[in-house]
A and B are shown apart, each in its own frame.
Chain A
Amino acid sequence: MRREASTPRPGWQQKLEELGFTYYMLEGKAYWTEQACYVFTADEIDEIEAATEALHDLCLKAVEHVVSNKLWQRMRIPPTWGDYIERVWRRTDPTIYGRFDLAYDGKSPPKLLEYNADTPTALYEAAVVQWYWLKDIKPDADQFNSIHEKLIEAWRGILRRLAPEALVHFARFEDQPEDLATSEYLRDTALQAGLAGKPIAVPQIGWNGKRFTDLDEMPIQVMSKLYPWEWMVREEFGAHVLTDSTAFLEPAWKMILSNKMLLPLLWEGFPDHANLLPAFEQQHSDLGNAYVKKPIFGREGHNISIVAPGLFDTAGGSYGAEGYVWQAYHALPVFDGNHAVVGSWVVEGKPAGIGMREDERRITHNNSRFVPHYFEPGGSS
């Protein structure tokens, strides 16, 4: 694994905009860069792929453990939601996608930092934008990226479970470019799979006393939402979900996996697993003097603190009211002063590709740069 300097394509901004990828600058800083790329060997990609598959399997076992033992209080999920989550889980309501964030340096096994299982973004740039970069810059190279094809296949699987007239609504915040792109891209793949899709802004979702509705007063049967479950649970319309006449993507059992309490739960169930870091509900002697404190319901790196000898880094925010978990500190690899994290995509439960993010800071956040990647045959880079 290495970071390689790369010459940007002539007119690269226009190329990105032609793809609809307009948010390559965020808050005045580059979000997409092609002045560099990450290079892997095929063996390294195999290792990431295998770790992703293994971690997803562990996560499914964790969901079963939580549901079977009704660990709602521990997960900070209202117990009134327990029956609903169990019902959705038992009838195997489908999942489309999720993204593991992994610490990986090509030398030691990938380590799970967190699972963005409910509302992952950076999807379009991983599935499509970096693919076009590869075709332009390294047409003979490979990229770990079958996200697009797997998304379409996942939607086809959902189509087979729905009535022919079924319509999927895609709910998101339309003033957030990244959210809009992710949701529209999902809708595009659903359409390519043969489903009908209709966009709606999250605040426009209606409730008519019986059903969730769109602006045409049309009942919403299936809702692909880019809005966190833990927020929906506590909002005014949250209780209506429990009547269970609308199906959600991602399903409510993802509330267990997008929850940082998953990390200590996994460590309890599978201690010393090669792809896990020690994690606990409170400070623990096994953490030594180097740990990362993460809010149970936190996003985009907010309210994360890193504590290690000679090191303290923290990111502000408004999360943490539900408590924190403590995870052993595992330094991200640094390339040319950039801390690199692997976002490993899972589509319909299977590894589907990666997107690389990097930042000068140790805490990856919403605007951390997306950097394309490719891989070479063989075992060393």
Chain B
Amino acid sequence: MPSPSQPGGPRMSRSVKLVLMGVAGAALLYSCAPGVGAGLGTLPYLWFLPNPFYRPPIAAPCPPGTPNCGQQASTSSGSGGGGSSTSRGSGSTTTDASKAAPSQSQRGGFGSSGYGSSGAS
């Protein structure tokens, strides 16, 4: 039966799940194997990445004839379009990479609140 919210699409899983899961899936589920990507932290630029869902505002284009249009574009906080001297592309972050030597982190700052439970609901 089609879903009211998904015209023509399945609401029920049917056989798809049986293909996706199974013994291999269950084995993976509890493997707790080190995650793919371990070691990426050694890449210095990761230390300076902003929130990954952040998108810098895009500078509005200047209407033709606007005084200092080029200057406005170059000093905007946008993604680097238009300017050359003050553009903030990702390249500028790598210049600070030498300061990014990972230190030993403090731990235990999360996880102390449980009233005898983990807080899941």
**Which residues of A line the B interface, CB within 8 A?**
18-20, 42, 46, 49-50, 53, 91-94, 116, 118-121, 124, 128, 131, 135, 142-149, 152, 161-163, 165-167, 169, 171-174, 176, 178-179, 181-182, 184-185, 187-188, 191-192, 196-199, 201-211, 213-214, 216-219, 221-222, 226-228, 231-232, 234-238, 240, 244-247, 258, 299-300, 302, 317-319, 350-351, 366, 377
Contacts and interface: CB of A to CB of B under 8 A. Distances in A.
Contacts of B42: 218
Contacts of B104: 208, 217
B37 A214 contact: no
Contacts, number: 220
The interface size bin for chain B is 35 or more
B121 A299 contact: yes
B113 A235 contact: yes
Interface string B95-121: 000000011111111111111111111
A228 to B, nearest CB: 4
B109 to A, nearest CB: 3
B113 A234 contact: yes
Given A217-B102, A237-B109, A377-B1, A148 B37 contact: no
B40 A163 contact: no
A49 B118 CA distance: 29
Interface stretch (B23-31, B59-67, B74-82): B23-31
Interface of B: 1, 3-6, 10-13, 16-18, 20-21, 23, 25-26, 28-30, 32, 34-43, 46-47, 49-55, 102-121
Contacts of A92: 53
A201 B32 CA distance: 11
Residue of B11, B23, B106, B118 with most partner-chain A CB within 10 A: B118
Nearest to A171: B110
A20 B30 contact: yes
A361 B119 CA distance: 21
B32 to A, nearest CB: 6
A188 B5 CA distance: 26
B4 to A, nearest CB: 6
Contacts of A228: 113, 119
A171 B119 CA distance: 13
A152 B34 CA distance: 21
Nearest to A220: B41
A119 B37 contact: no
Given A128-B17, A179-B120, A198-B34, A205 B107 contact: yes
